[in-house]
Amino acid sequence: MYKETVPHAVGTMIGVIDYGAGNLGSVMNALARLGAPARFIEGPERFSAYEKIIFPGDGHFATAMASLERSGYAQAIQEWIAADKPFLGICIGLQLLFDSSEEAPPIDGKPIRGLGVIPGTVRRFPGRKVPQIGWNSTEARASSSLFKDLPVGSFFYYIHSYYADPLDNAVTAATADYYLRYCASIERGALAAAQFHPEKSGAVGLKLLENFLIR
């Protein structure tokens, strides 16, 4: 069993994006347990004050995307990731990285665009029992730095009705099963994201957050 430790990158200042969603307190509490200094980012112009950024939260794809665009966070996130700076998306923070979502169909023929950082679509689970709520085994690729030193098939906490479907499976860092095998986490350079909630996943979740802090 993984035992909680303080990350080597304890001096790294973490910026947490607050666009009005929930679960932010859980993320801040998890970072505090790891001894990682973190603050809510006070606007997109403040990104440069941080060394790593975490984008957690939940909510509807279209509503969240509209909030990011109004606040200026959308462009700031795209530029941060394009510069290959450390970024971790959680739940909706993963889904918004994609081009579009079945949760947000076109309005009057005009598509609802995501951040477009990862080519692909967010799709609704085909089964009738949604959302998926609870713990699910997650299979990571051996080369994943996000899942380093975690037991094979570790259980993380999920709550979602839609899943990411990248065009290029090379970005998939881990998969899980719910009606079908789907992408549960992505990694590309300094970019990482997870559909599950590491901040609500006990010791394994803390270890994954620590891995992000020191990767």
Active site residues: 91, 197, 199
Q: Which of 112, 6, 10 is nearest to 66 (CA)?
A: 112
The token duo for 79 is 């530029």
Neighbours of 151 (CB within 10 A): 12
CA atoms within 13 A on the CB side of 199: 22
Do residues 196 and 157 touch, judged by C-beta distance below 8 A? yes
Question: Which residues does residue 159 pair with via DSSP β-bridges, in sequence order?
Answer: 133
Which residues are within 8 A (CB) of 29 and not within 5 positions of it... i.e. 6 or more apart?
199
Neighbours of 27 (CB within 10 A): 25
Q: If DSSP codes are grouped into helix, strand and coil, which group holds residue 48?
A: helix
CA atoms within 13 A on the CB side of 29: 10
Please report where in the chains the tokens 């947000």 appear, as a residue.
104
Give the pairing type, strands 118-124 and 162-166. antiparallel
